[in-house]
Amino acid sequence: MLDLDRWQEIAHTLGRHKLRTTLTAFGVFWGIFMLVLLLGAGNSLKQDALSRFGASTNTIYLWAGRPTQLPYQGFAKGRRVGLNISDRDYLRQNLHGAELVLEQNQLGGWQADQYIVRNGKSGSYQTTGAHAETALLEGFVAIKGRFLNVLDYTERRKVAVIGDEVYSDLFDKDEDPIGQSLEIGGLYFKIVGVFAPSIPSENTRRDSQSIRIPNSTLRHAFNQLGWIGSMRIKPKEGVSAIALEQQALSLLKELHHIHPDEKAAIGHYNSEKDYLKVMSLFTGLQAFSWFVAIGTLLAGVIGVGNIMLIVVKERTREIGLRKALGATRWSVLSLIIQEALVITTLAGYTGLVAGVAMLELFSSIIEAGGIPGFGVPSIDFSTALSALAILVFSGLLAAWLPARKAAAVNPITALQDD
C-alpha cells in the first residue's frame, strides 16, 4: 500500500482518462454530499421542533376542566370540579411514580398581565407562583442573584425573581436589581434574582417577560387560598409520563367522585406524548434520508464498478504480462482495489467536505436571519464517521468484482489476445 511506484502508476492510469474518472467519481461525490445535506437539514428541523418543548419533555399538566358530562355516585352532571392544595397533597402521597408535584397560581388568572411601574419605566408582565424546583422543571438559569429557594416558599417571603426582559425594561443598563423593590398588585417584593430560559423554546419570550414569586406567598397575599390554578408533575427517572398521567387522573377522579369515563372534567396535557411523536417522526425522516442518500451512493458505486470492469478489459494484456513475469494474485487484486478506493475515497471525502461547508453556510444564514422553523443544521461526529466507513466499504464493493476478474486472467490467453 505504501509502494510509491504503485501510487504513481494509479495516478497515471486515472489521469489518462480524466473525463471518465471525473464523471465516475461524481456519482460517489453526489451520494455523500446528499447524505450530509439531508441529515443536516433533518437535524435542523428536529432542533426547531424539540426547542418548542424546552426542558419540559415529560411534564404532566393538570388544571380544572369543563363541567362534568356524566352523573356519578349521586352527583348530577354539570358539576365543575376545582383543584385545591389538598389535591396536591393527595397526589404527593399516593402518586408513587412522581418525583415532583407542584401547584401553581397566577396573579389575575391564566395568562393575565400585571402593570408594573418603576422609576418612570413600566410594562405589563405575568406574575406567576413558583417553587425552588421550578428552575429545574422549566429550564431556568439565574443570570443575576439567585432563583427562589425552599425557605422563600415555606416562610412565604415577599421576594421575586424577574425575567431578563423585565430587567431590561425596568432597569438601566448595568444597574444592579438585587435587593431593590418592585410593587406588584399593591405589595412590595424584594428582587433576589434575574433569570432566563436556559433552553430556547416557543415560551422563551413569555418566560423572559414574566415575574416569579413564591406560590405560597401569592396564594396567601392575593386571596387565592381556596384554589390552585394548575399542577405540574415530573415523573421519576424511568417512569413513563403517559402512564403516570393516567394514574394521576384516576386518583383525582376517585377523590372528587368523577365518573371514570369522564374526559374533560380535569384538564390535562402530557408533553411526553408530543415529544415521542416528534422523535418518531424525525427517526423516520432520518431513516428516509439514509435510504435516499445510500441509494444515490449505490448508483455511484455501480458506476465505479462498471468503469473498473472496463479498465480490467482494457488492461487484460498488461495484467497477463504482469502475471507472466511473476505477479501474484494478491498483487493484481490490490492494484484494482487501490484504484477503486482512490476514486471513491477522494470523491466521497470531497462530497463530505462540500456538504459540511454547505451546512456551515446555511447555519450562518439561519443564525443571522433567524429563519423560523429551522434550527442550526449540523451532523454529529458519529455520523461523519459512519459516512467515512461507507466510503471505504463502497470502494471495496466497487472494486471486488473487477479485481477478482483481473486476478483470474490467464497469462497465456491474455498475451494471445489482440
Q: Is 236 exposed, middle or buried (0-12, 13-18, 19+ CB in 10 A)?
A: exposed
Domain spans, the chain:
4-52+276-416, 60-272
Looking at residue 95, what is its pLDDT? 93
Minimum mean pLDDT among 178-187, 385-394, 398-407: which range?
398-407
Question: Counting beta carbons within 10 angstroms of the beta carbon of residue 260, is it exposed (0 to 12), middle (13 to 18) or buried (19 or more)?
Answer: exposed
Distance CA 170, CA 122 (A): 6
**pLDDT > 70? residue 369:** no
How confident is the model at residue 282, as a pLDDT? 80
pLDDT at residue 275 greater than cutoff 90: no
Q: Find the helix packing angle between 271-314 and 316-324, rounded to 10°.
A: 70
User: What are the φ and ψ backbone dihedral angles of 287, each rounded to 5 degrees?
Assistant: -65, -40
**pTM score over 0.75:** no
Q: Tens of pLDDT along 1-28?
A: 556 666 666 666 666 667 777 877 787 7
The answer on pLDDT for 188 being more than 70 is: yes
At 103, is the pLDDT very low, low, confident or very high (cuts 50, 70, 90)? very high
Mean pLDDT computed over 296-316: 73
pLDDT at position 203: 63
The reported pLDDT for the residue numbered 32 is 82
CA nearest 113: which of 195, 205, 206? 206
Does position 382 have pLDDT exceeding 60, yes or no?
Answer: yes
